[in-house]
Structure formats: structure tokens, C-alpha cells
Chain A
Amino acid sequence: MKAPDETEALPSSPIAKTRLYLVFTMFAVGFIYVALGLVFRQLWQSGDLKAQYETQSRRVVLRPPSRGVVYDRNGYVLVENRIRWTIKADLLALQPEIHRRYLWLIKSERARGAPVEHEKLQEKARVDVLQGWLDRVWYVIDEAQHGRPAVAGKPRSVQPTDEPERRVNPDELKKHLRERRALPYTLVTDLAFPGTTRALKPEQGQRTIARFIDQFPVNGPISLESDIVRSYPQGTLAAHVLGYVKDTEDLPEKVNELADLPLDNLQKLHYTGKTGATGIEQTYDRILCGSSGWELWTKTSSGYNKELIASKPAQQGSNVTLSLDRDIQCAAERALAQIKDTKGELLPAAAVMLDVNTGEILAMASQPTFDPNKLSDRVTRVYYAEIEERKGWMNRAIQGLYPPGSTFKLITAIAGMRNQVIDWDDILDCGPSYRVGGREFPEHDPAGYGQVNLEKMLAVSCNVWNYMVGLRVGPERLAKEARRFGLDTPLLTHVPDADNSSQFELPSPSSRTLVIPDAAYKKRIGAGAWTDGDTANTSIGQGYILTTPLHMACVAASIARGETRTTPAIIHDPGRDGRHVGAEPIGLTEPQLTALRGGMELCVSEGTARSVRIPELPFAAKTGTSEYFKNGEKAHLAWIVGYAPADNPVVAFCVLVEGQLDTSTWGGKTAGPVARDMITTWSRKADAPQGVEPASDCQRK
């Protein structure tokens, strides 16, 4: 090739120049495009991009508030918050150790000649390392419980490792990594009570915590976190009233402070909070729950928390003071626990005590019961099933619907006198049975009671007297009288501050399930026309009639005050004025009312309740033994309602015991002792000089 040819080939020719310009132009366009793109992104889109960056790189962590404390009327703590020490493993800090273990596992797999499954080995490495640390924690726990190891350097006994809380659960760990990678993994939920299978004494719990804190390194990958859990220091006391709490992801939020952030788009991370599941914990949840705290974090690309930008502490919920009196409640529960059937099993039962004047509930017990402490954290399925099997969830004092039996005779008597079919001093001749519509209605004493007036009727609980009076009054007027005393009206309604005004203060039956039978009712349920037999049955509190122990306690309180209605209350309010919703004067003349009350006093002094007489404290009561069918077999319900003291009533009560497939349960004999114990405890407290606390058997457990 010659040199001149080469010079010709240089881009001096017009065609080549055009090409060059084309290339330049293309570059220029490209450059301008990039520049404009950058300008667009920087100037126009920067706001959006920044917002996007912030939402992607930040997260809000919500911290649950601690709930309010529940006190009894004298200021004793019924529900509080206990410090719980949780042991957590920081997975980020453990990463090098996990990686080492992973490499070691790969090596050993290869040595065995097995195919290497990386993902599986990684998982195994993670579980192994966490298990190693869990073992160490458990070693400390065991050592704290058993004291110093017998031989220096060796644990006294090798603990069984098959308990679930001693093993790292691979599925749980996987779930944790999937859902809460940023939070540390929980190794031991409650250091003071590490296993659910065994109860620890408080000192042992403290020792475990102290051992861990003093002996584990501060900057290790295992950290100690403390939080607050719900604690019921009195154990099972008033469990049905107090209820228990369950986990919730739905925290009470008041995060207005974060208003300037695009909160909806931000990733939100919740710690698990608590919400009431039943009882006061549920119905007063809005008051007890408080408001959540929050933390705004930046996060690393792998999703761990990096830097705390802002935060606000959670706010504890408000406290609630219940009308319950710890000591009376305790006496009631202890007395109920004495009632057993022939096989030694606890009989289902309920007891209520009210303040006659204010209607405040001083005690409300239901048996069988449960320990809310065991339910406030992770509920074990076994315990749940156990309560279910014993039918322990039901608060029999307000949820149990029973025929009131002879205690209803008070209403029959009042109806008779108010409708002038009988007077207080009228005497009826009562034989061993009474014939109504071709059927003999028996007296419970085969000999009959002979000449019976109102007082004697209440003392001996004469049935025939009531059949006669009931039939004279008639079913409609009898039902009207029962309704006048509110036996079909739901109680404990209206929670202050609640959205829903129909809510109950405690889970109670609605008006549909409380039954005051009349002709219309019988027709509605398709049981045919009303007969005189139904009236006779109703007059002694049997048949279709269904009510609750709390209702009957209210009837007793109303009679004690000479009114028709008592509005019970579970919240203590020193300013309660004793006015009751829908209450009107009882409508009896003075001699009639005196005779009615006298009959109830006679019932205790020499009648069906004489076995529980308290010589130094006369009280008034009416017992009842109604029949009901349990699993197709006849059984007895034992009732006692009344008030004390007889001359100046302050407290009213009602006790009910469900007999189990036998008929050895009687009002005075079975339910009476519970009432007596409640009254004695109340009177001991009432008689104690001002400011002096009488010795209480009911101490913190």
C-alpha cells in the first residue's frame, strides 16, 4: 500500500465528515438526554425519590404500653404488671459464629461424602448455634434452682433435654427470620418462670435472673430484655371477674406525632401487645390499655434496625378500682372450694355479695375457676383444654341460668299481698300435696305443714301455700311481679366510655335468655297452652323460669331496702348515692313488709337455714332447692339468698350450688355455709376499728 492512499482515507472527505458529525450529534443527543434525565431526577423527582428512600429505608417500631392496675375497693392489688426478663439472641452478632458452624458442617458433610445442601446446612448451623447458647442459659437456670453444682465444674444432674422450651424450634426460627428478622430471637420468654411445666418460687426466679445478669458477658450476643407482663398476684381469686389477657398484634395506636411521615407506606413492626380476653380486662380494655410508644429506625439493606431517629415512650393505661372486697371474695372462694360431691370432685357453684345500699358487688365467685397467670402469656393447649373440660370458663354468678326454686317464693308472696289475694296474717291450711288440674303437686315434707301463715311459709318453705297463692294471683300477674323486680332485665350493662352502649360491664346473658314465663312465652317456644300446673310450678320457682344468682342477690338487696330494683356495680365509686335504675317502693304495707322480713329471719333462726345460724349476728335468708336435669338425670340446685344484719341490712347475698347427678344437695345445708362465711368475714371487717386492718387469711400468693 502507498502512503498517499492512506492520506486519502483520512476523514477529510465530505462523506467521512458527515459521518463524523453524525457520530458527534448522536453523542451530543445522548449526553443531553443523560443530562436532562439527571436534571429531571434531581430537580423534579427529588422530592418523590427522597420520600421513597425514606419509606424504604425507615421503619416504625410500635411498642405496646403497659396496662393499668386493677385494685379492690380497699386498694389491694388484684391485677398488676410484673417485670419479665426475656433472653434474646442477636442474630446479627451471632452471624460469624453461625458462619463458622456452617463451614464446619459443610466440611463434615463432604468428609462423609454426602451431597452438600447449602440451605439446609445454613439452617442447621443457625439452630445449632442458638441451641448452644440456649443450653448455656439453661445451665444457669438449673444451677440457680439446684444450688451449686455438686462437683466443681460439673452440673449436679443432667437435665432432660426433651422439654420443648429447652430446644430451639427450627420452624419457629424460620418464621422469625421471615417475619421479624430485625428483632432479636427470643430464647427464653420468662427467665423467672422458664418452663411452663414447673412452677418456680419467686426467690428461685430472682436468683436465676441475678445469675444470668452477673455471669453472662455484657457485650455478648445474648442479651437480656425486660418488659412488663400481666400478673394476678392473688392467683385464681376473682378470675372470672378479672378475666385474662391475650396477645394482640393490634396495638392501641396514638401515633399522631408521626403525622408528617407517610405512615401508611412505612414498614410497621409490632411488638406483640396484650388485650383483654374476658372479664374486666376485656370490658374495660379501653381504659386499661394505654397508648403505644413508637420508634422510628433506619434499616440496613438486609432489614436489620440501624439507627434510631426518633421515639416516644409508651403510656401506661389508667387504673381501675373494683367494688370487690378481696377478703370477702377470698372467703367466698374458699368456702365454695369446700363443696364437693361424693367422689370428692368440686361442685360447680357461684356466690355473690352486694352492698345493699349502693349495689356495689363485694364478692362474685364462680367455681370451677382458672388461674389467669397461666393464661396471660402463651396459653398452653393443655391448660386451655383442662378449663374447657371442667366448664371453668363460665362465670356462673352472672352467666349461669337456673330456675330459682324456693327463693322465688319471696316474689310469689309479694305478688299475693300486692294483689290482695292474701295478707300477711292470713293462715292457709296446707296439706301434704295440692291438686292442680288433675295432678298432685307435692309438699316436700310428706306430712304437710298444716296451718301456715306468711312467716311460717318462708321459714319452712311451704310449697302448698305458694301453689294456692300463685293460682289465686294468676300467671300474668305473677310474671308481672317478677318483671317488676327486674328478673328478666340484664344487669351490669353500660360501660362508661364505651362506643357500644349495649355492652356489658362483665360478660352477661342478654334479656332474651333470662326467662319469666307466661302464656305468650310458652306459645312462642311451641310448648302448647298455659295450664294451671305451669302457674303452680312457676309459683315455687320451677318450670320455665330462668335467672342468675346475681339477679337473686339483687332481689334480696331490694327487699332489704324496701324497693323493687337494685342496680349492681362492679366499679367502686365512693360517691354512689344509692339510687337504682327503675327502682320504686316495694308496694307493701308496713306490717306486710315486716312479716316478709320476719319470715326470712325465722328461716335462719329456726327454719331451713338454721344450720348456718350465727348467734351474734342475726341475718335474713331464704333457701331453695330446685330440681333440674343434668345430662338427663335429676339433680338438685341449692340456693340461699338473703341479707345481713337482719335489723339494719348492709350486705345482700346469693349462693348457688349445682348438685351433680344426686339429690343430696340442699339449700341450707350445701349453700348456707358459703353465705355464713361471707357474712362472718364482712362483719369482722365492719367491726374492726377505723384504720385497723383485721388479720386476713388472703395474702399474696
Chain B
Amino acid sequence: MFWTWFILLLATLPCLWLADLASDALASHSLVLFVSGAAIVAPCRRLKRWQAVLFATGVGFLFEARRPIPAGTLAFLLAGMSIFLTSNRLLLRNTPLVLRGALICNTLACTAWFTSAALRSGSWVANEPGHFLQQLLLQVSFAALLALVVFIPLALIQDATMDRAGIPPALDSP
């Protein structure tokens, strides 16, 4: 079905918003709970490539929409990742591998948005590389942790949606 990717995006939205609400609670600690990277992994196991790419781009733009990040950075990065994942589905053939994939994707995407936001935010980043690295490490470790915690419920919701939409199950599923 053509609109599967969009339906999946709608199904994923509440999870992304929940992450935003959790970020809200942690706002005074300057942390954003980032799950967008992990959110593209499960669909990449089953969706067609073009659908997965559209889905990933949508997820990326949703994150960027309310944040001062150079436009398109995260969206195109996630699109690239989704191309890679859909071309190498063997890398996601069982649960531990999928978890690993979610972790890597979330960490990479988090590094990307954080760095691009830093570059956008002004020249003093260059003057205080230590501070930048410290904050990056903090943010990325949270992203990694969150990928592991949130992935299973997220994947369950996404898989259920794809089952409903009649997408065939992943070939190498354990």
C-alpha cells in the first residue's frame, strides 16, 4: 500500500511526543531525549526501500521542525541510514542485532544533530571544544541508553501497525 509509510509515521508519532514530554521534564538539565534514530530501525526491516526512506525523512523533519538545527541535516542522514539498512537486512536478522542497529543508529543521528546545532549556535563552540565534547558525550550516552530502553515497545507498536497494513514479515526474522 502506498500510504503505509505515512500510517506508520502516524503510529510512531505518539512515541516521539512521549519522548518530547520526557525531555520537557528534564528541560532544566539541558537534555533532549532523542529516539528518532531508533525509530527507523524496525520499519527498515520490513518496508520497501522507498517507503522506509520516506518514513525516515519524515521522522527527521519532525524532530527538526521545532529546533534550531540546519534544515535537513537529520532528515537526510536518517534517509541515508534507511537506504543502508534496507540494503543490508541481514544485519538486522535477529533481536540482538536489531538492538545493536537501533543503538548505533540513534547514537549516530544524535551526534549529527548535536554537532550541527553546535555549529549553528555560534563561534564560541570553537573556543571551548572541551565543553562541547563533554556535552556531546552526555547527550549521546543518553541517546544510546534510550535506544535500548525504548526500542522494544516502539518496535512492537510499529510491527503491529505493519502487520495490520499487510506488510510481509521480515525474511530473516528469528
Contacts and interface: CB of A to CB of B under 8 A. Distances in A.
Touch A–B, Cβ below 8 Å? yes
B126 interface: yes
B121 interface: yes
A219 B120 CA distance: 8
A218 B122 contact: yes
Interface string A301-324: 000001110000000000000000
Contacts of B126: 306-307
B156 to A, nearest CB: 42
A350 B98 CA distance: 93
Contacts of A306: 126
B127 A308 contact: yes
A269 to B, nearest CB: 18
Contacts, number: 11
B105 to A, nearest CB: 30
B127 A219 contact: no
A308 B123 CA distance: 12
Interface in A293-307: 306-307
Contacts of B127: 307-308
Nearest to A220: B122
B115 to A, nearest CB: 16
Interface string B119-145: 011110011010000000000000000
B120 to A, nearest CB: 7
Contacts of B123: 90, 219
Q: Range of interface residues on chain A?
A: under 10
Interface in A217-275: 218-219
Interface string B94-129: 000000000000000000000000001111001101
A135 B77 CA distance: 38
Nearest to A305: B126
Contacts of A218: 122
Interface string A203-226: 000000000000000110000000
Nearest to B122: A219
B141 to A, nearest CB: 26
A219 B123 CA distance: 8
Contacts of B129: 307
A306 B123 CA distance: 10
A618 B127 CA distance: 70
Nearest to B126: A307
A218 B129 CA distance: 20
B16 to A, nearest CB: 27
B12 to A, nearest CB: 32
Nearest to A218: B122
Nearest to B121: A219
Nearest to B127: A308
Contacts of A307: 126-127, 129
A131 to B, nearest CB: 23
A646 to B, nearest CB: 69
A307 B129 CA distance: 10
Interface in A85-120: 90
B133 to A, nearest CB: 14
A90 B123 CA distance: 11
B10 to A, nearest CB: 35
A216 to B, nearest CB: 13
B127 to A, nearest CB: 6
A25 to B, nearest CB: 48
Contacts of B120: 219
Nearest to A306: B126
Nearest to B128: A308
A306 B126 CA distance: 8
B24 to A, nearest CB: 25
A346 to B, nearest CB: 52
Nearest to A308: B127
11 contacts: A90-B123, A218-B122, A219-B120, A219-B121, A219-B122, A219-B123, A306-B126, A307-B126, A307-B127, A307-B129, A308-B127
Nearest 9 pairs of A and B residues by beta carbon: A219-B122, A308-B127, A307-B126, A219-B121, A218-B122, A219-B120, A306-B126, A307-B127, A307-B129
Given A219-B121, A307-B129, 8 more contacts: A218-B122, A219-B120, A219-B122, A219-B123, A306-B126, A307-B126, A307-B127, A308-B127
Interface of A: 90, 218-219, 306-308
Interface of B: 120-123, 126-127, 129
